[in-house]
Every structure is written in structure tokens, then in C-alpha cells.
Amino acid sequence: MTEEKNNPAVEENAAQETEKGTIPEPDKITNRDLMKAWFGWWWANEVNHTFDRMLAPAFCFGLIPILKKLYKTKDELAKALQRHLLFFNTQATWGGGTLMGVTISLEEARAKAMAKGEEAISEDMISNTKVGLMGPLAGIGDSIDSGTIQYIFIAIFLPFAQKGNFLGCLLPFVCFATATYIYGYYFTKMGYTLGRSAAKEIMTSGRMSSVIDGLGVLGLFMMGIMAGQYVKIKSYLKFTISHKTFDLQSILNTIMPGILPLLAILLLYWYFQKKGLKITRGLIYLTLVLIVLSIFYIV
């Protein structure tokens, strides 16, 4: 009996059996749980932004209700909270929504396997999945949300602002927040359903690529409309030859109305292509060029 107690193999087996018996089955994850997790992340996304952990506290905050349903023991819950407080930074909807769903799916699989005493997904796999996908998904999300969607709403409601209506500055933010919340929740559900393959679905599937391409084309149309309507550059150069006055702006209007605003936009685009997206410096150079041209009454 004494030998059996002092045998390391027996003690290890006994510890494993105890561990199996003390890890309860996780609760079922419902759509309401997914929505609660997504809302927590979406709401707190930039609230507790830190330099050492970036957006990890907000991501962990969204996961807390889920983790409490999956891990019923204090030790396992503490480990789960700690691994989701590690450095994490991505775009809120396309990156954060998808990875929220993927992470919940992996954590659920781990909790179920541990409760059954089976080989579980490792903590490193969960963390590495987040780290490996947060960059590519952030690039997609930033270009679509920040570079296209928000400007579409600004272009739609800009006429309200020009007329002095306060809705012109309020509605773009409201519509943008509503839209990102809706499709961000869709990405959360998709990430939970598809698991780690959800990122591949977003980045490589033909359907999603078509959506991204369509949004890009729509964004270019909206930028063209905004440039034509709200960029005002006119030429004041007039000269007289043989008692006949030539108005440069009138001549340009007969050739191509709005050619000067178009040239200004193309000049900025060329500069950004050559020097990178240095917006402030580009605007300063454009202002200097316009000042020089205005001295000679060209614009």
C-alpha cells in the first residue's frame, strides 16, 4: 500500500483522474452569448487602449461572459483571462469580429475536450491563431471601413452640413456605427461557425472578394462625386487679343467642366503614389502650388 502511494506513475494517474472529474462540462454557447461578446468588444474597443497590451483588455472584456460559461473552475478561468490579456491589436469589425468568433470556437472546443478528458487544443494554438490573423484582417478592415464605408456616409450627408443642418455631422457617425455593428456581428457568427477557416473565407473566397471589389468601386465613385461637387478651383486669368477678351475658365468649361479640380485630385494621387500616404505634407504642397498660381491670377 505504501509502495503504491509513493509510485509516481500511480500518483500521476490519480491526479489525471481527479482533474477529469473536477472539470465540469461547459454550457452551450447561444447566439445571445455571441451578440453579448461582440457588443462588449465593439463598445470597449478603444476605451481601455494601452501601449503594452493595445486592444487586448477590450477583447478580453468581450470574452468574459463566454469564458465564464466555458470554464467553471477558478484556475482554468484565470488562465483563459490571462491568455487573452496578451498583446492584441486589429481592426474592430473585420478583424475583431472574425477573431472574436474564431476564438470562442477554439475556446469552446478546448473546454469540451478538457471536460471529457480528451486531448485539448493548446493555449499556444489559440494565442497564435489570434496573432497570426490580426494583421491581415486589420489591413482589409482598415481599407474598407476607414477608407471607403465612412466616406460614403460622409458624402451622402455632406449636403445637409453645407445647408447648416446639424444632421449633416451627426448622421454619418450614427450610420457608420450602426453598419459596422451589424456586419461585425455577422463576422462574429461566421467566425464561430467556421472556426479558423473563417479568415480564409474572408480573404480568399470569391463571394467576399466580390463584395470587397464592389465596395472599392463604389468608394471611388463617391470620391469622384465629392471631388466634382466640393473641390472648387477656378481660373481668373483673362487676356485680350485683337480687342477680343479670352476668359480661360470659360474656355476650360467648354472643353471639360471641372478639369481644374480633377487635375488637383490627380496631382495629389500622383504624389501619394510616389511618396506614400503623407496627407499633411501633400496638402501643404498643394496649398503652396495654388498660392503661386493665384499670384499670377491663374486660379
Q: What's the domain count of the chain?
A: 2
Distance, in Å, from the CA atom of 141 to the CA atom of 94, rounded to the nearest integer, reads 5
Q: Which of 211, 230, 249 is the last residue of a domain?
A: 230
Print the domain residue range for 277: 238-295
Q: How far is CA 170 from the centre of its chain?
A: 21
- Residue entry with cell 497564435: 128
Same domain, 201 and 285: no
pLDDT tens-digit series, residues 208-243? 556 556 656 665 666 666 666 667 777 777 777 777
Identify whether 6 is part of a domain.
no
Same domain, 290 and 189: no
Identify whether 196 is part of a domain.
yes
The confidence score (pLDDT) of residue 81 equals 92
Distance, in Å, from the CA atom of 55 to the CA atom of 91, rounded to the nearest integer, reads 10
pLDDT tens-digit series, residues 33-56? 999 999 999 998 888 777 878 899
C-alpha angle with apex 122: 89 to 53, nearest 5 degrees? Answer: 20
- The whole model's pTM is what? 0.64
pLDDT category of residue 13 using cuts at 50, 70 and 90: very low
Q: Which of 230, 259, 285 is the last residue of a domain?
A: 230
Same domain, 77 and 222: yes
